[in-house]
Amino acid sequence: MNKRLAVIPARSGSKRIPNKNTRNFCGKPIIFHIIQAAATSGLFDKIHVSTDSHEIAELVGSIGLNVDFLRPPQLADDHTPIMPVLKYVLEEYLKQGSAFDTVALLMACAPMITVDDLHGAAALFDSGHGKQAVLGVAEYPCPVEWAFRRESNGVMVPMQPGMFSVRSQDLSPAYYDAGQFCFMSSQRVLSTSGSGSDEDFLGYPIKRHQAIDIDTMDDWQFAELVFSSIYQSLG
């Protein structure tokens, strides 16, 4: 039996958007959206919010999701990669006698991710027998070959000189990590040192509007507009 653990990182101390993980997003704390998608999916034997904050733990507890243990401060700073956090969670559960085969990293600020997305990603992961992680990805809106770097004086420097003249239909689509979710084997997490590797991933494409990276208040306001127009209109 494939036992699945969902981990939702939600540390305190967000600087660009204060209380980002619990801020009201279209009627409820933003973290509630992904918690409810995960719970409704029926995919997970355990959903764990990894937080260093008693306040966040109490908030998610108010909807019936108890936080079994808090994240230590040394894993809750601005520079700690996510893999050591996942590794800590798995090791703590192992100490409690709970082992999981699959870990799903679900980001707290991913309100656009649906039950269908989680089912699709889980199916893709299972189809590869867990040998490759599954990453939620989005297609770049234009060819990456057309990218420029902007110097401090405003001068635009082409990343791939001469490629601006190549038609988009003659170039292959490129994808990026949308920062929404990832499914991986527990073995991969436990055997990883540092921040891990960017190899051996399968990509699960999500829609462009689902890939909004909410880092600033401008991002937040844009995401609320999108969510209100697409999801709330669907009831």
pLDDT greater at residue 27 or residue 2? 27
- Per the structure block, which two tokens stand in for 194? 């540092």
**Sequence-distant (≥ 6) Cβ neighbours of residue 92 within 8 angstroms:** 68, 69
Give Cα separations from 89 to 34, 66, 121, 182, 211 (angstroms). Answer: 19, 14, 21, 16, 26
- Indicate the CATH number of 4-234 among 3.60.20.10, 3.60.40.10, 3.90.550.10, 3.10.129.10: 3.90.550.10
231 falls in which pLDDT band (50, 70, 90)? confident
β-pairing, 46-50 vs 28-29, is unpaired
Query: Which tens digits make up the pLDDT trace of 23-76?
Result: 999 999 999 999 999 999 999 999 999 999 999 999 999 999 999 999 999 999
- Per the structure block, which two tokens stand in for 29? 């704390």
Give Cα separations from 187 to 7, 47, 104, 195, 235 (angstroms). Answer: 15, 18, 13, 15, 40
Query: Which tens digits make up the pLDDT trace of 182-198?
Result: 999 999 999 998 888 88
- Per the structure block, which two tokens stand in for 72? 């230590």
Evaluated on CA atoms 156, 158, 163, 169, the torsion sign reads negative
Query: Which tens digits make up the pLDDT trace of 53-64?
Result: 999 999 999 999
Q: What is the pLDDT of residue 234?
A: 56
- Each domain of the chain, given as residue ranges in start order, spans 4-234
